Amino acid sequence: MTLLEQPDPINAAERVFRRGDDSAVLRISEADAEMVETVDIDPLSDEPMIVNMGPVHPSTHGVLRLVLEMQGEQVLRSKPVIGYLHTGMEKTGEQLSYLQGGTNVTRMDYASPLFNELVFSLATEELLGIEVPPRAQWIRTMMCELNRISSHMLFQATNGMDVGAVSMMLYGNRLREETLRILEKITGLRMNHNYIRPGGVAVDLHDGWREDIAGLMDLLPPLIDEFDELLTGQPIFRERLQGVGAINAEECLALGVTGPILRGSGYAWDLRRDMPYLNYDELDFDVIVGTYGDCFDRYAVRLNEARESIKIVQQCMEKMPTGDYRLQDKKVTPPPRARIDESMEALIHHFKIFTEGFKVPEGEVYVAVESPRGELGCYMVSDGGAHPYRMHIRAPSFVNLQTMPHMMQDALVADVVAIISSVDPVLGEVDR
């Protein structure tokens, strides 16, 4: 094509680049996006460029794919494409018994697995109509807050990394590792613990857990303060995040956003305080809110939430009661291993629970907890059998992902990365 010639009208391309459409969301099918790639556009024309960011990209937090319509470095519209990690976990959940379900849901949000187990267990328990012993409640609270610290530290690591502060990657992960070490000692695994189960928790806290956790609680605060030193006051870091990806509380509510993004925009909504579950009504902690709803506020909210979690864990340690770590109802929890050798009944119960599972009364239930990413809900329907008839997880990452196009409008490529990072999606949870 010579330069003087009018470029061949790109029908398909014109169809997708609807000029004058100033919405933030790029409405283009993936097939069209691929087709536009092949269209021979006049190099001198100022047609926007379609850039596929992901699913394989260093900073899309897994396999998120973003189709960006770009004018130079500026994003005009964008479209998040998900599903690259879809493994049908909700459907799988229907094939597994309630006891096995924990291993399934724990793999959804792999950065905060205990919350998934918690919400699944709470839903099951509500259907069963059982009350777990107080010690189990407190263990669950404490473990979840430890998990929240590790998840927020992972955020600090990736957020620092995404704005180019490569050392933060290792500082954040170090703090996370220290926390995971304790979780591993208690649950046996670093991730995907399957520790919180219907009826209580899998095992009691080990001997010397107080020293271990107290040591961690002494170790963390000064290291978290290091983030303040290296990032919060750092001019380049502030420049990069302040005013980037701002979203206000009304928009958040309209999009169904929860968690640090909502709180960052100044709306104090925390299920732990507003709809208390476990023992949160007996604990003293602050709900951290931001002001501007930009990336910096979300960073600050998460950093300070980790500090609040430390406070909560310390309170849990003080208030930890003695007693059973799980319900001693033989229809729900298996008997202790030692009893199997002596008691025929115990053997039968053990066998029944691990082969057939326990039956759950008919009914449906929705339970929500505050995960590090927002409202994590579990909707469960039981038909009276040993498997859930339907299990749906309201994944906060999935809902929060909707904000991306709105935050990214008119942002630069560098901002796109900061925004993805500040939404902090876990793709395992998004796709499930």
Partner 1 sequence: MTSLPLAVDPLFVGGVGLEEVLIVALKVGVAFAMLMVSVMLMIWFERKLHADMTNRMGPTITGPFGLLQTLADGIKLFFKEDLLPNDERGDSAIFRLAPYLTLIPAFLIFTVVPIGGDFDNADGKVSWWGNTTQLQIADPPVGILFVLALSSLAVYGIMLAGWSSGSKYPLFGSVRASAQMVSYEAALGLSLVAVLVKSGTLSTHDIVAGQADGWNWNLWMTGFIPFIVFLIASTAELNRPPFDLVEAEQEIVGGFHTEYSSIRFALFFLGEYMNVVTMSAIMVTLFFGGPDGPIPFFESFGWAWGILWFMLKVLAFCFTFVWFRAALPRFRYDQLMDLGWKLLIPLSLGWIVALVALDLAASEGWNRPLVAVICFAGLMLMGTLLNAAVQSGKRKRLAGEGFD
Binding-site member from 138, 237, 285, 299 for partner 1 (CB under 8 A): 237
Instruction: Based on the shown chain and the rule CB under 8 A, indicate whether residue 13 belongs to the binding site for partner 1.
Output: no
Residues within window 38-97 making contact with partner 1, judged by CB under 8 A: 49, 51, 57-59, 72-73
Binding-site member from 10, 161, 224, 368 for partner 1 (CB under 8 A): 161
Measured from the CB of residue 392, what is the shortest distance to partner 1 in angstroms? 34
Taking the C-alpha atoms of residue 21 and residue 28, their distance in angstroms, rounded to an integer, is: 12
Pattern 369-408, partner 1, x by CB under 8 A = ----------------------------------------
Nearer to partner 1, 49 or 191 (CB): 49
Measured from the CB of residue 307, what is the shortest distance to partner 1 in angstroms? 22
Nearer to partner 1, 172 or 259 (CB): 172
Measured from the CB of residue 344, what is the shortest distance to partner 1 in angstroms? 55
Measured from the CB of residue 42, what is the shortest distance to partner 1 in angstroms? 16
CB environment 187-223: b (16+ within 10 A), e (fewer): beeebbbbbbbbbbbbebbeeebeebbeebbeebeee
> What phi and psi, each to the nearest 5 degrees, are found at residue 27?
-95, 90
Instruction: Based on the shown chain and the rule CB under 8 A, indicate whether residue 225 belongs to the binding site for partner 1.
Output: no
Residue with tokens 């709180």: 263
Write the CB contacts of 42 (distance below 8 Å, at least 6 apart in sequence): 1, 3, 7
Nearer to partner 1, 225 or 239 (CB): 239
Taking the C-alpha atoms of residue 75 and residue 72, their distance in angstroms, rounded to an integer, is: 8
> Which strands, in side-by-side order, build the sheet including 374-382?
363-371, 374-382, 388-394
Instruction: Based on the shown chain and the rule CB under 8 A, indicate whether residue 174 belongs to the binding site for partner 1.
Output: yes
Instruction: Based on the shown chain and the rule CB under 8 A, indicate whether residue 175 belongs to the binding site for partner 1.
Output: no
Nearer to partner 1, 89 or 244 (CB): 244
Instruction: Based on the shown chain and the rule CB under 8 A, indicate whether residue 35 belongs to the binding site for partner 1.
Output: no
Number of residues that bind partner 1 (CB under 8 A): 32
Instruction: Based on the shown chain and the rule CB under 8 A, indicate whether residue 277 belongs to the binding site for partner 1.
Output: no
Taking the C-alpha atoms of residue 376 and residue 394, their distance in angstroms, rounded to an integer, is: 6
Nearer to partner 1, 313 or 411 (CB): 411
Nearer to partner 1, 369 or 420 (CB): 420
Stretch that binds partner 1, among 141-149, 165-173, 182-190, 295-303 (CB under 8 A): 165-173
**Contact residues for partner 1 (CB under 8 A)?**
49, 51, 57-59, 72-73, 160-167, 169-171, 174, 230-231, 234, 236-237, 239-240, 412-417
